Each structure stands twice: as structure tokens, then as C-alpha cells.
Amino acid sequence: MDIAALQAFLAVAETGSFSKAAERIYLTQPAISKRIAALEHKLGTSLFDRIGRKVQLTEAGRALFDRSRAILNELEDAKRSLANLSGEIRGAVSLATSHHIGLHRIPQTLKRFHARYPDVRLDLRFMDSEEACHAVVRGDLELAVVTLPPTPIPQLQCELVWNDPLDIVVAPNHALADVRAGTMRTLLDHPAILPGPGTYTREIILKALGAARGKIRVDMTTNYLEVLKMLAAIGLGWTALPRTMIDDDLKVVQIKNMKTIQRSLGIVTHAKRTLSNAGDAIVRMIRAAA
């Protein structure tokens, strides 16, 4: 079966669009359409229902989807294994990181890696930790440096690199700023600003609130910790931020009997796939710098 056609098929299936698929794999839209048409002709069945501008998998398309991903992942794994035999560190490494880690934890490591291995193409993508983990599971990324999932994902191998404690913070002129050893009830009387629903960081914060988690009033959400900091600093509510981000623009609020809030940050790889020599090199450099 034509590998290029399978790549086009997966791109269309995952994006739900021929034009977006073309952008993803750097082809023209007519080229994508031609590959899909050739694949459908070879298989003797339609793989997509085209309803207006919407593209949806047919039953045959759904049956092909997981098999196509497995074929392409196995091929990529084989290519990396063969390339690794030379011992050379070259080619490309696809790496995702969250905005916070990308800004605060690994810039110097990336700088040193690029200086030491200038011929390696670093495909660096910024995305939410949850999205990055799913991309590693799918085989779209070789590795990710992100907030580790609070609940294990069987397909992933997670390595702790940094413990990241968080504190409840408010603006210095906020009503909570002068509270000493407040209670959970005190916290619930004021609106919160938190990461979006479904994010690992939000779940870690809510878990620390215990039984009160369902009673908090969340007025605003954003997945960017720098924006959370700004919103809290101007007095719009309380939030939880890494201690490394807390400065004179914020005041830490102590809550009695509240569990410690701590994220685990680290390296995520697929449990059953081979890292390239370049991927292994950047992992070793991240460990050494921690």
C-alpha cells in the first residue's frame, strides 16, 4: 500500500479537512485529493463522506484509520532503529513542550543542544500538556516535556524531572491578602481564575481543594500561566501558580488543612517506540541540566 497515500488519509481523517491536511503535510490540496482518490480506487471503497465542507470517515475509513496509524508508526520506528545503528546524531527530533516549561525550564538546554548538534532539525511545538501527551501516544511526536499526567496513561513512559510546587496567590490589595491561616470557606467566598477544564494543572489544583472543589466559583479560565498571573495581580481573583513565578506583584494565601499543590514536570515518550539518537541526546541533556 502507498505510504504517501496513507499519510494523506490520516491527515484528512485527523483534521477533518482536505485543506488543513494539505497544510499539515506540506502538499497542495489537489495533491491530497489525488492521493485519497487513488487510495479509494485501490481499496475499492469510499473512505470519506463529503457533505458540504465537512469531511467524515465512512465505516471503511474508520476501519482503516487505526491500522494506518499503526503501519506508519511501525515504519517510523523501524527507520529510527536503523538510523540509530550508525551512532550519529542527525536528522530531526519532534519535541513538544508547554509554554511555561518552554519559557522557564528548557531554553538553555535547547540552546546548548542546538550549539552541539547544529545539523539536527529541532521540530519544536508549543502546546498544552494534555494535547502533547496524546500526540506522543498517536506517534505524531517523538517526545514531550510537559506537566506529567496525574493519572497514568498505559502507552506513555513518564519521567519526573522537576517537582513544581504551587501556592494560592492574590493581588496585594485583594481581600485575601491579609488573611492569616484562612479556612477553605474563606477561599470559597472569592472568585477563582484557573486553567481550563480537563487540563492536568486544573485537576491538580481541584484535587488539593478536596470536598470543596465543586463549590468554587471560577470566573475566568486560561491555560497560560503568565496570563493567570497577570489576572490575579490586577485583583480579578485568586489562583494557584508555581512558586518560581511568584514575585512582589502577588501575595501568597495560607489556607489551613489544605493539601499541598504540586505538579510533576518531566519527559514523556511512547512506552513501545524507539527514540532517535537525537531524541535520546536531548533527553540526556534535559536530565543533566535539571
pLDDT of residue 54: 81
- How confident is the model over 34-47, as a mean pLDDT? 93
User: In this structure, how many other beta carbons lie within 10 angstroms of the beta carbon of residue 210?
Assistant: 11
Say yes or no: do domains 92-161+265-289 and 165-264 share a fold. yes
Q: List residues bridging with 127 in a β-sheet.
A: none
| Cα–Cα distance, 35 to 164 (Å, whole number) | 47
The mean predicted confidence, pLDDT, of the chain is: 92
| Cα–Cα distance, 140 to 266 (Å, whole number) | 19
Strand-strand pairing, 92-97 and 218-221: unpaired
Phi, psi of 49 (to 5 degrees): -95, 125
User: In this structure, how many other beta carbons lie within 10 angstroms of the beta carbon of residue 225?
Assistant: 21
For residue 180, what is its C-alpha cell? 492569616
pLDDT of residue 91: 85
Residue ranges covered by each domain of the chain: 3-84, 92-161+265-289, 165-264
CATH superfamily for 165-264 is Periplasmic binding protein-like II (3.40.190.10)
**Could you tell me the fold of the domain covering 3-84?**
Arc Repressor Mutant, subunit A (1.10.10)
Residue 281 — pLDDT band, cuts 50, 70, 90? very high
Looking at the whole model, is its pTM more than 0.95? no
Q: Could you tell me how many residues make up the chain?
A: 290
Q: Would you tell me which CATH number, out of the four given (3.40.190.10, 3.90.1150.10, 1.10.287.610, 3.40.109.10), belongs to the domain 92-161+265-289?
A: 3.40.190.10
Q: Which region among 34-43, 80-89, 172-181 has the lowest average model confidence (pLDDT)?
A: 80-89
Q: Which region among 99-103, 123-127, 138-142 has the lowest average model confidence (pLDDT)?
A: 138-142
pLDDT of residue 1: 61
pLDDT of 114 over the 90 cut: yes
Classify residue 236 by burial, with Cβ atoms within 10 Å: 0-12, 13-18, 19+: middle
